[in-house]
Structure 1
Amino acid sequence: MATSPPPYPPYPSYPPDPAGRGLRHPRCWQRRWVRYWALGTLLALSGLIILALVREQTGTEGFLVGLGLAVLPVPLLIGAFRWLDRVQPGPWRNLLFAFAWGACAAALIAIVANSFATRWIATADPSSADTLGATVIAPIVEESAKGAAVLLVFLFRRRDFTGIVDGVVIAGVTATGFAFTENILYLGTAFGADRLSGGTGIASVTAATFFVRIVMSPFAHPLFTVLTGIGFGIAAFSGERGRVWRVVVPVAGLLLAMGMHAFWNGSSTFGQYGFFAVYGMFMVPAFGLLTWLAVWTRQRELRAVREELPAYVFAGWLGTVEPFVLGSMRARQIAREYAAYHFGKPAGRAVAEYEGYATTLALLRRAGRRGRAGAGFVGRERELLTELWNRRELVRPALDYAARTAAPRGRRGPAGFAPPLYGPPGWYEAPMPYPAYNPYRS
């Protein structure tokens, strides 16, 4: 008598509890909705306070002018960090938290702490209070306040924080929010100074401030804080064994961020052309180097996808073309566009989710093979495989089409279209011809 194939390919079961204990109910403060409510309330109160403080210093008109000018680089920076995170995109809630923390909580901490410290220094040495405040106090306070957001995501959203790219994205978005609020303050204050002095046009203080902060160095704050994010990213894939390493590297990243921030703030004390010298000889090369590092890390993640996923092909979880498709940004995009065009936007989102889960699975397997996955490896692997399996029928046509389209001419792709070597019989059918994707067809 024939038996039906199992619904899933075999995978390891959950490890038993050696003590035989059951599940414990979380305490009140451990419940997710309580943490979300408390965090949302904290950010909302911080936002209201920082709004009142900035408006008090700039005036209503200056605040509106500063807001309109400061928002200009925000979409560009957020889009750049989101593009960098396309291989394994993190949830939007993490980015919203990071931006809100930078714009509200970190900005409030910086304004209050910097003002208090500068006034305290002025009581002892009024002549050097502003210089010490800009080159010593501000870098320490601001980078610590921004780095707190990276620490919180690292501790409480650990599943979404798997490597350097995640650290760069969270740190960069946090610093973008901080720079947004700071630019409102500086531009609004400059506008108020122009109203008092009658300055207009290119010679105005507002135009000069806009050129320096928005045109020349919109990446300054993200560049500083990204060093902290890289430190946490290195700690993320170091695993549970290197506990000292997981503390030392983030602290080193934070200290580097403070040092770069102090060097940048102190450029005005290096002479008439000190600012431009530091900008051209230090900031631009550092920006290029960190950009290269982030892009190289993203390519490394794609290579991990191509190297680790074939194991799941042999087990019957994935189709033979999927490591090739999921390891190519071009093939991924083709698959998403094909699914959205033929089956609607929900199908396009399902393909994007499938790509994200598969990337997370590949990175998890690489960490497990290197002994860095931790005790929750089996459960997390099972969860990711289940998510992929539940979407397989919807995304398979798009992945097959992307494999045929993105493969080099004259070749069927690196894995061909043969069924997997192992797995339940009949779960995979050879790809059928699907209609060609033509975005210009009416």
Structure 2
Amino acid sequence: MATSPPHPSYPVGPTDGAPFAGSGTAGSSRHAHWWHRAWVRYGALSTLLAISGLVILALVREETGTEGFLVGLGLAVLPVPLLIAAFRWLDRVEPGPWRNLLFCFAWGACAAALIAIVANSFATRWIATATADPSSADTLGATVIAPVVEESAKAAAVLLVFLFRRRDFTGIVDGVVIAGVTATGFAFTENILYLGTAFGTDQLTGGSGIASVTAATFFVRVIMSPFAHPLFTVLTGIGFGIAALSADRRPLRRVAFPIGGLLLAMGMHAMWNGSSAFGEYGFFAVYAAFMVPIFGLLTWLVIWTRQRELKTVRAELPAYAVAGWLTPAEPYALGSM
């Protein structure tokens, strides 16, 4: 009868039965201290997101009215399942825990959206007062202030996962998924605001059907460019993903790539927001010449990276099959989609 291959032995850590250094009481106290710290951290974060959600809900409802809010909510939610499903599909090789994605979506929809609304409004009003030119203040706010504020607010979620969920953040694909889900939450809240406001405009002007402002806004934001915000923030996620792959002895690289990705996200966001200033067909020119090609390039990059991960699995697991840990067919099954 064949014997099973020997399993590696692991050192017994403090949580495997041995107390912490010192007396048992001190070890138990320290363990309880860390346990309480974790719950305090989770509780504080949940409270922050809940308060942000309530405040952003009140602000958006005040801006759109109850009926406009409900219409905007119903229309804005349509692309969300498709985007989340797409990011989960990209993450199939080594899927991260759902709690990370729930946090990222909530951060984007609540905290980042609240920061953006408050900061953008304050900055635009300040510029209008300082220059006595409201129209130029709106343009400057959309093309300079908004990209910096919004991409920084969304990047904060990626940074938090990178710092506190490091074991779940191992490469480019993880960065893309975390950043993309965060931006999906942000776009969801922003779409409620824009679609609800458009509906209110139609109520005042009597617009209806294809010619309505709501239909035009829905077509541009939900049909043509549901991937716009995720596309911007994914550049930040790629920067963090490259940093995750960098060795610990290269601290400069681990800082430079996330900052570089964030700057690229801000630049692309600014170009997208400023496309209307490029002439009558500026929006379509930017969409066709930049947005679609970059979307295709990043999609290829992520799928290529995922295939490399699968290739690594196929290359490494046969040794475990030779040792008897796996059957001969399992390395090939585990190394394919």
TM-score (normalised: structure 1):
0.70
**Match 1:35 to one of 12, 31, 41:** 41
**Match 2:269 to one of 255, 261, 266:** 261
In 2, the alpha carbon distance for the partners of 1:228 and 1:115 equals 24
In 1, the alpha carbon distance for the partners of 2:13 and 2:47 equals 39
**Match 1:132 to one of 106, 117, 140:** 140
Provide the residue aligned with 2:255 in structure 1: 247
In 1, the alpha carbon distance for the partners of 2:171 and 2:48 equals 28
Identity across aligned pairs (percent)?
Answer: 79
The amino acid that maps onto 1:96 is: L
Provide the residue aligned with 1:391 in structure 2: none
The amino acid that maps onto 1:202 is: I
In 2, the alpha carbon distance for the partners of 1:33 and 1:320 equals 44
> Contact 1:9/1:317 (CA < 8 Å) preserved in 2?
no
**Post-superposition offset of 1:5:** 5.8
31-40 or 47-56: bigger deviation: 31-40
**Match 1:232 to one of 232, 237, 240:** 240
> Contact 1:9/1:316 (CA < 8 Å) preserved in 2?
no
In 1, the alpha carbon distance for the partners of 2:32 and 2:129 equals 50
Q: Given the superposition, is the C-alpha separation of residues 308 and 227 from structure 1 closer, same or farther in structure 2, using an over 3 Å criterion?
A: same
| Greater RCO, CA 8 A, separation 6+ | 2
| 2:22 corresponds to 1:14 | no
196-205 or 21-30: bigger deviation: 21-30
| 2:83 corresponds to 1:77 | yes
Would you say how many aligned residue pairs link Structure 1 and Structure 2? 324
* Bigger Rg, which one: 1
SS in structure 2 at match of 1:25? helix
**Match 1:321 to one of 319, 325, 329:** 329
Residues 23-63 of structure 1: CA deviation (Å, up to 9, x unaligned): 75374687322221111111111100000000000000000
> Contact 1:28/1:34 (CA < 8 Å) preserved in 2?
no
> Contact 1:67/1:184 (CA < 8 Å) preserved in 2?
yes
The amino acid that maps onto 2:10 is: S
In 1, the alpha carbon distance for the partners of 2:316 and 2:86 equals 28
Provide the residue aligned with 2:65 in structure 1: 59
TM-score (normalised: structure 2):
0.91
Provide the residue aligned with 2:150 in structure 1: 142
305-314 or 216-225: bigger deviation: 305-314
Q: Which runs of 5+ in 1 are unaligned?
A: 330-442
In 2, the alpha carbon distance for the partners of 1:29 and 1:222 equals 35
User: Root-mean-square deviation (CA), in Å?
Assistant: 2.1
The amino acid that maps onto 1:248 is: A
**Match 1:289 to one of 283, 297, 302:** 297
Q: Which runs of 5+ in 2 are unaligned?
A: 15-19, 22-26
Provide the residue aligned with 1:110 in structure 2: 116
**Post-superposition offset of 1:314:** 3.6
In 2, the alpha carbon distance for the partners of 1:74 and 1:208 equals 19
The amino acid that maps onto 1:259 is: G
Residues 146-173 of structure 1: CA deviation (Å, up to 9, x unaligned): 0111111111111111111111001000
**Post-superposition offset of 1:197:** 0.9
**Post-superposition offset of 1:14:** 3.5
In 2, the alpha carbon distance for the partners of 1:26 and 1:111 equals 40
**Post-superposition offset of 1:123:** 1.0
SS in structure 2 at match of 1:208? helix
SS in structure 2 at match of 1:218? coil
**Match 1:68 to one of 74, 82, 86:** 74
In 2, the alpha carbon distance for the partners of 1:16 and 1:69 equals 52
Residues 342-357 of structure 1 aligned to structure 2 (within 5 Å): none
**Post-superposition offset of 1:16:** 8.8
The amino acid that maps onto 1:117 is: A
**Post-superposition offset of 1:304:** 0.9
**Post-superposition offset of 1:9:** 2.5
Provide the residue aligned with 2:310 in structure 1: 302
**Post-superposition offset of 1:320:** 2.7
**Post-superposition offset of 1:237:** 1.5
